[in-house]
Amino acid sequence: MTRRFVTAISLVAALSSACVRRHNSSLSPAEARSALFAPSSSFWTTNAPHAFDARVETSKGTFTLSIERDWAPLGADRFYNLARAGFFDDSRFSRVVPHFIAQFGIPGDPAVGAIWQHRTFADDAVTHSNVRGTIAFAMTGPNTRTTQLYISLVDNSRLDAQGFAPIGRVIDGMAVVDSLYSGYGENSGGGVRAGKQAALFSGGNAYLDREYPKLDRLIHITVIDRK
């Protein structure tokens, strides 16, 4: 009886491990690049899991995001698909403003940036507040979200009324987020609303590394389905 029980437990563990591997499986480099250059592909219509984690590796360490689709379904879907396609990999935290936000989402490859810079999607209702540690898409007005996101370094609940809808929050490693280089402030990546990011999109990492060499890097995001 005991032997059968142990065998059953082992089988369940093996199946669970297999499921985790499937959820964590990533596209091949060729598949990911193909998806990034085909924004109208059915790949981008995939709904995110009800809840998932995103492990973010940076030049300062790793932090983990918990994304809840029911907070902001459209935003969660866009982030999920961008992450699994490797869109954010080898990019920079281009706008880190002390006592405000840490922003990322401009691709390092200008060719990818040219495709996604104006690829907007509709707004979500604001169901949760922009408190410290939450993550939301940046925007310039109604229905203008694209690929840039910010993490609130402080309580930014004043942004709620402007329509910024959090899609999740940092659940581990907030100290890493706090440590991201912020010495350039708005100079390196600000100006979303004023249209001052042209050089970042056209120059990509080459431009940012030349002009703002201390910016921290976003190395890779691993998506982990929790349910």
Question: What string of pLDDT tens digits covers the 227 residues of the chain?
Answer: 444 444 444 443 443 443 433 344 467 888 888 999 999 999 999 999 999 999 999 999 999 999 999 999 999 999 999 999 999 999 999 999 999 999 999 999 999 999 999 999 999 999 999 999 999 999 999 999 999 999 999 999 999 999 999 999 999 999 999 999 999 999 998 766 656 799 999 999 999 999 999 999 999 999 998 76
Q: Which residue has the tokens 């499921």?
A: 19
Closest CA to 213 of 176, 185, 181, 177: 181
Residue at 147 is within a domain: yes
Q: What's the structural domain count of the chain?
A: 1
**What is the reported pTM?**
0.87
Residue 175 CA from chain centroid, whole number: 17
Residue 1 inside a domain? The answer is: no
Does residue 91 contact residue 108 with C-beta atoms inside 8 Å? yes
**144 domain-assigned:** yes
Tokens representing 134?
């939450």
Say what the pLDDT of residue 9 is: 40
pLDDT for the residue 103: 97
Question: In which domain, by residue range, is 50 found?
Answer: 28-225
User: What was the pLDDT predicted at 28?
Assistant: 86
Contact 200, 79 (CB under 8 A): no
Residue 16 falls inside a structural domain: no
Is 136 a member of any domain? yes
Residue 195 inside a domain? The answer is yes
Query: Quick one: pLDDT at residue 6?
Result: 40
CATH code assigned at 110: 2.40.100.10
pLDDT of residue 1: 44
- 94 domain-assigned: yes
